[in-house]
């Protein structure tokens, strides 16, 4: 995820940059369903921990909650 984010964050200057950006977009498209299936159990686990009142650092909860939006 982070390598695709870095690639897409770079300014496009030439055709090579376009090729890299298109490759990153293709990678995201190919892996979307798999990544979505990995995020759902993480969200469910944090919701379950919250329902049982377990102490989880707030920073960790925020990261888990924003995981889907960050991707």
Distance CA 56, CA 61 (A): 7
Task: Tell me the domain boundaries of the chain.
Answer: 2-70
Q: Quick one: pLDDT at residue 44?
A: 95
Report which of 68, 48, 46 is spatially closest to residue 58, judged by C-alpha positions.
46
**CB-based contact 60:26 (threshold 8 Å):** no
Calculate the alpha carbon distances from 29 to 1, 5, 23, 25, 57 in Å.
Answer: 12, 13, 10, 6, 32
- The tens digit of pLDDT for each residue in 2-19 reads 788 899 999 999 999 999
**CB-based contact 1:63 (threshold 8 Å):** no
- The tens digit of pLDDT for each residue in 35-59 reads 889 999 999 999 999 999 999 999 9
């Amino acid at each position: 995820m982070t390598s695709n984010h870095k690639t897409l964050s770079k300014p496009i200057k030439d055709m090579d940059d376009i090729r890299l950006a298109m490759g990153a977009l293709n990678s995201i498209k190919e892996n979307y369903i798999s990544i979505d299936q990995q995020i759902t159990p993480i969200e469910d686990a944090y919701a379950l921990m919250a329902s049982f009142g377990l102490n989880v650092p707030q920073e960790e909860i925020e990261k888990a909650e924003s995981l889907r939006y960050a991707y």
